[in-house]
């Protein structure tokens, strides 16, 4: 019987200038926001204090932007890096142009903007990903550039034996 294991894409399978759309989306709830905010010791009233937030410019509590970023990246994992990533190398150019509110659904997409084989780690490559998060209305709520190190298929298969 043939077996198929769910995984991300290897270095040679990741294509530049292709938009990878990650589905399903994730609806972020009040419970998600309060839990994430308290777990990360973020005491910002804009995420926790409904009465105070009512008097602020947005008129309500907002989803913690770090929860938005974490979910944006998380939505890409199954399709792009599950089991094929070596390391997350870093983030750059993170922006939150529009707030997420309780009950908004986050949809993610990623474009590979650059890739190169590693000079110091044979069988691995460095890939630059541009993540974009949109809410249920298609409004961009988050963007982030990220670099990851991923396996080539042959090197990963050798390492597994």
**pLDDT bucket at 158, cuts 50 / 70 / 90:** confident
pLDDT tens-digit readout, 63-111: 999 999 999 999 999 999 999 999 999 999 999 999 999 999 999 999 9
The pTM score is: 0.93
Rounded CA gap, 147 and 119, in Å?
15
Residue 58 near residue 99 (C-beta atoms within 8 A): yes
Which residues have CB under 8 Å from 48's CB, separation 6+? Answer: 34, 37, 38, 61
CATH, range 11-160: 3.10.129.10
pLDDT tens-digit readout, 26-42: 999 999 999 999 999 99
Rounded CA gap, 130 and 92, in Å?
10
């Amino acid at each position: 019987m043939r077996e198929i294991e769910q995984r991300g894409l290897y270095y040679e399978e990741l294509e530049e200038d292709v938009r990878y759309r990650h589905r399903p989306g994730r609806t972020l709830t009040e419970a998600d926001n309060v839990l994430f905010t308290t777990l990360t010791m973020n005491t910002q009233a804009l995420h926790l204090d409904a009465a105070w937030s009512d008097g602020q410019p947005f008129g309500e509590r907002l989803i913690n932007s770090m929860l938005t970023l974490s979910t944006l990246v998380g939505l890409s994992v199954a399709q792009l890096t599950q089991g094929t990533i070596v390391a997350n190398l870093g983030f750059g150019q993170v922006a939150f142009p529009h707030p997420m509110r309780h009950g908004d659904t986050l949809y993610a997409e990623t474009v590979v903007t650059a890739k190169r084989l590693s000079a110091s780690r044979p069988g691995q490559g460095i890939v630059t990903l541009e993540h974009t998060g949109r809410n249920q209305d298609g409004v961009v709520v988050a963007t982030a550039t990220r670099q990851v190190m991923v396996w080539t298929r042959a090197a990963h298969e050798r390492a597994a034996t």
